[in-house]
Amino acid sequence: MISLQPPAISIHRGRLPYLDRNEGCSLFVYILRRTWQTIPLLFIISIVTFALMTLAPGDPIAMFQNPEGVNNADSLETLREDLGLNDPIYVQYLKWLKLVVVEGNMGYSFADGRPVVEMILERIPATLILMGTAITLSFLIAIPIGIFSAVRKYSAADNLFTFLSFLGISIPSFFLALMAILLFSLKWSIFPVSGMRGDHTDGFNFFDITYHLVLPATVLAFGLIASLSRFMRSSMLEVINQDFIRTARAKGVSERKVIMKHAFRNALLPIITLVGLQLPSLLGGALIIETIFAWPGMGRLAIDSIFNRDYQVIMGITMFGSLLVVIGNLLSDVLYAVVDPRIQYGKNG
């Protein structure tokens, strides 16, 4: 069995400080410690975001004016005073911090005075459904493609996948989205043009939502499939050329078992890291997809609030997004332990 232990491979570089198996902490303590570390991190993010946001040109009051210059509002000064925009920036920040820390409240939208928490919570399910489906879908498709391409390197099929993935990476998602709508909704009338639910359905109606989900989730997954399958291919190739694989083959292990057990598990490790790292960019991609498909998620809330300079909502979303990324990274580290037998949080090495 000793011969089957893979050597420390290079793809783990850069993650070791968090994953030092010699520290001997339990998984629970590890998670606790990581959670504790996020507090100063989130604090710094909040200061930086607030500073950038308020220093950027533009004015929240502008949202009360119509882009066509029509129906302009008066009394904007009163409004500015009411919203506390005349305070110095640090006072505005401290007021916001007080709201969050003392009252456990993320503030109120400048636009309609609703609590930011309520606005975000209302949007989260839609975004999670869309992103979750897209991630799952892309993994389910990209990983087999990656393995196949690596095993049949330079075959016709591999070349085809290479071509397709370059296409997938280079086609802008908004274009793909519009083309998908043109073909599947307009021409063939298979899927709805946009929205998450029919006009008369409410709450979580599985079939209705799935029906509306197909196009946006596929389009969102498309780019991810393209890049993930490339990653999987190169990661797989790297592992296949390792000594322990040769050993396994020499030992007479069936090719299928060599690929699926020895090579695949090791090649999957860096891909799991990608889940965590992909979260922010996927959130970004979801903005566009949500806008085109009129999907009622967080992305649109983010875009609207940024254009409107709705500071409180921007802060709420940034903090929430940061939290999501932190959790995503933590999750991928924990998943690591599950997949990689060498990483154990519970025992001393």
| Residue ranges that bind other proteins, judged by CB under 8 A | 57-59, 61-79, 82, 108, 111-115, 118-119, 122-123, 126, 178, 181-182, 185-186, 189, 192-197, 199, 202, 291-297, 300-301, 304, 307-309
| Residue of 18, 5, 24 lying closest to 349 (CA atoms) | 24
Distance of alpha carbon 140 from the chain centroid:
17
Kindly state the tokens that stand for 106: 């993320």
User: Nearest distance from residue 180's CB to other proteins, in Å?
Assistant: 11
**What is the identity of the amino acid at 11?**
I
Check: CB of residue 145 under 8 Å from CB of residue 228: no
CA 230 vs CA 85, 133, 198, 271: distances in Å: 48, 20, 37, 10
User: Nearest distance from residue 172's CB to other proteins, in Å?
Assistant: 14
Q: What is the DSSP letter of 7?
A: P
Q: Is 258 helix (H, G, I), strand (E, B) or coil?
A: helix
User: Nearest distance from residue 286's CB to other proteins, in Å?
Assistant: 13
User: Nearest distance from residue 74's CB to other proteins, in Å?
Assistant: 4
Nearer to other proteins, 68 or 103 (CB): 68
User: Nearest distance from residue 279's CB to other proteins, in Å?
Assistant: 21
Nearer to other proteins, 212 or 230 (CB): 212
Separation between Cα atoms, residue 244 and residue 263, nearest integer Å: 9
Kindly state the tokens that stand for 148: 């196949």
Residues contacting residue 325 through CB under 8 Å, at least 6 positions apart:
276, 279, 280
Residues contacting residue 178 through CB under 8 Å, at least 6 positions apart:
292
Neighbours of 156 (CB within 10 A): 8
User: Nearest distance from residue 265's CB to other proteins, in Å?
Assistant: 42
Nearer to other proteins, 259 or 298 (CB): 298
Nearer to other proteins, 196 or 267 (CB): 196
User: Nearest distance from residue 119's CB to other proteins, in Å?
Assistant: 8
Residues contacting residue 335 through CB under 8 Å, at least 6 positions apart:
272, 275
Nearer to other proteins, 110 or 264 (CB): 110
Nearer to other proteins, 164 or 294 (CB): 294
Nearer to other proteins, 40 or 67 (CB): 67
